[in-house]
Amino acid sequence: MRYQVTAQHLAHIFPELTLKHERLLNQLNLDLGHLQLLRDGYQAWDSQDQRFWLLLLALVDAVNQGSLCLDLNHPTVNHHLQTIGLTQGLALATTQDWQQFKLNQQPVIKFEQGCLYFTKYWQLETQLQLALKRLLRQYTGVRFTAVQVATAAQQVTGELSFEQIEDKQVLAIVVSLLQPFSIISGGPGTGKTTIMSSVLRGLMLLGYEAKDVCLAAPTGRAANRMTESLHEVLSHRIKVPAVTDAELISIEATTIHRLLGARAQWRGFQYGEHNPLDCKVLVVDEVSMVDVALMRQLLQAIPLGCRVILLGDQFQLPSVDSGAVLADLMPPVGSTGEYSSDMWQKLEVALTPFNCKAELMAELNTIESAFMLTDHVTVLDVSKRNQKDIAELSESVRLGDSDAMFKQLSLASIDTNGQVAGDMAAWNWVEQIGVYWLPTQTDNQAWQETYLQWIQWHYFKSAIQFKSIITELNDFDQSSLTTYHNQLDQLFAVINSNRILTLVNDTLVGSLHINAQIAEMMKQRLAVTGSENRFHGSVIMLGQNSPSLGLFNGDVAILLAANNGQLRAVLPNKSGYRSHSIHVLPRFTSAYAITVHKSQGSEFNHVLMPLPEDEQHRLLSREIIYTGLTRAKQSVGIYAQRSTLETAVKRQTTRYSGLRFWYNQEH
């Protein structure tokens, strides 16, 4: 829990300084933990320079915004410093002897190449960069010739049941087979799962075995989704499955923490720099969600003979904790498609079997001096999952083009009863539009009626069997769950088809309030009783992991009344469905509305996304809007004031770091 910082705190910590306390609190994101560190420094260090302490307060703000450092080279940072009364920040930092500022005989601050750090974050950054350089330069495993890669890539892509595979997908597969370390970035529907399965199948052809492979993701839900997606391709998208496909299907993705053997009681890991993992191929999905500390630990734990494939979407929300590692790993704008002359020659051979070779090679350029990650990154830009209008809208948001966004959005009106275009059935018409904008209503009751009508349309009108199946499953036989698979399939088809995605938990547009109102409505519609979200037919999401039960934060289940009088949580698994007594579940909430952060790695046919009214809300950014939009496949509605939505799309989240993967040339 973060306690509220007050003007009195600042006055107490810096008693001799004439700081404008209230103004600083309004402009900086400060926390007591870092302020107590500065308090100790203020008492121990010989400095009464007010500008010095303003600089360190700005560093605290930067860290609390997710940055690893205060980048004094950046114009935006210097403009922000001016708003708190500090000019010439770089000159000030350059003149300091930062080594003298110690606590417990350890340096607290590090200044390097114009970036000011707390030592902890400088060490994480440095160790991450060294670990990556080690994997790139000292790989000891098998490398394949371009001819071998061409043969394997041609076979695995030819065995896909798709009518056509995109050119960039072919390039990503070939690069990942040529390079022991590769990064693939792309939005939903750009084919990352197809590429992952094809690369793994290619590696099997080239001599690897399924037991050599580890799959990992940042969260339990993301790991489950990774497993499900891989199983879907291998089970249903291969023309003639091989024996090795069945072996690959047996692989279960795990969380990065479990892979590394996280030890909560010691706040450490079993695997790391001095005790590497036992794997020859590691694939990590949803890398945008991985913070700098976890990525450092993971890279240090990877053995030198292991091939690595990192997957993610660089434009999604960054990690909850510090850093934006995937964004740092990506090439600067305008540098995609640049390869060393050696790699270009290998690609020319490896792409020979493909009709797209000439077009692809024409788009690739050679550079004389390669950077650390040159030849290792592929950016995908063609999405086939989202409805066309959603893909175009998401692209406008990604580019920060609010004018184009509003031209693409269809305006939908809401009456005082929360009805769209006259009645509930009109939701069908609205959602056929694909993307629509619902302007914020001054009447809060109208908003409540809007989302209640939206949920009722999806649960009871467009899916008329939901209530009858819930009634049928009342008093179900928990010992014969397999007999209910057909009904459960229909229920989860409804549940997984729609979601309200919020930016916040609190307020009238937050998930907690919305879920509470929907739960009461659902009890009335289903004609059941129960307290809060504990009732027959309640849709819930787990909020904690329970590894012993195989349950993970983000898992969605439905509560059903069993024949022993208990509510049981029923949720899908690899072989069908399983159930657990409500009494053994970890913490859970209703799942009709979830935050955009929780939705990462998921997809829904229909999404409704309400935004906070406060235009200055710290969570409003183009990244969170983009992430919410790209969860939707068929329709997405945004409930917001025009000015709020415009502000969000124009505000880009920037997390500063000193990571320089694309600026230090490798000779």
548: DSSP letter: G
Q: Residue 311 burial (CB < 10 Å; 0-12/13-18/19+)?
A: buried
**What are the phi and psi torsion angles at 505 (to 5°)?**
-90, -35
Coil, strand, or helix at residue 434?
coil
3-state SS, one letter per residue, for 597-612: HHHCCCCEEEEEEECC
Q: Alpha-carbon distance 528 to 537, whole Å? A: 8
- What Rg value do the Cα atoms of the chain yield, rounded? 26
Strand partners, 73: none
Rounded to whole angstroms, the Cα distance separating 597 from 221 reads 12
Whether residue 440 is annotated as binding a ligand: the answer is no
Q: What are 412's two structure tokens?
A: 């939908």
Rounded Cα–Cα distance for residues 458 and 375 (Å): 46
- Outline where 569-659 has alpha helix (H): 596-599, 622-629, 642-650
DSSP character at residue 506: S
Q: Check: CB of residue 172 under 8 Å from CB of residue 184.
A: yes
Does 187 appear as a known binding residue? yes
Strands of 58-124 (E only): list them.
70-71, 102-103, 106-107, 109-112, 115-118
Q: Is position 191 annotated in a ligand binding site? A: yes
Is residue 188 marked as binding?
yes
Q: How far apart are CA 72 and CA 70, in angstroms?
A: 6
Per DSSP, the three-state class of 502 is strand
Kindly tell me the sign of the dihedral angle through the C-alpha atoms of 538, 544, 547, 552.
positive
Q: Is 418 annotated as a binding residue?
A: no
Is 189 known as a binding-site position? yes
- Rounded Cα–Cα distance for residues 127 and 292 (Å): 10
CA–CA dist 536, 181 (Å, integer) = 49
Write b or e for each residue in 222-242: b if 16 or more Cβ atoms lie within 10 A of its Cβ, otherwise e: bbbbbbebbbebbeebbeebb
C-alpha distance from residue 294 to each of 67, 218, 270, 287, 330 (Å): 15, 9, 13, 11, 18
Number of H helices and E strands in the chain, helices first, is 27, 30
**107 belongs to an annotated ligand binding site:** no
Contacts of 169 (CB under 8 A, 6+ apart): 190, 191, 194, 195, 198, 380
Per-residue buried b or exposed e for 60-75, using 16+ beta carbons within 10 Å of the residue's own CB: bbbbbebbbbbbbeee
Q: What is the rounded CA–CA span in Å between residue 20 and residue 57?
A: 12
Do residues 35 and 21 lie in contact, with contact meaning Cβ atoms separated by under 8 Å?
A: no
H-helix or E-strand spanning residue 17:
none
Instruction: Label residue 389 left, alpha or beta by phi (over 0 means left) and psi (-120 to 50 means alpha).
Output: alpha
Binding residues: 186-193
Binding residues for ATP: 186-193
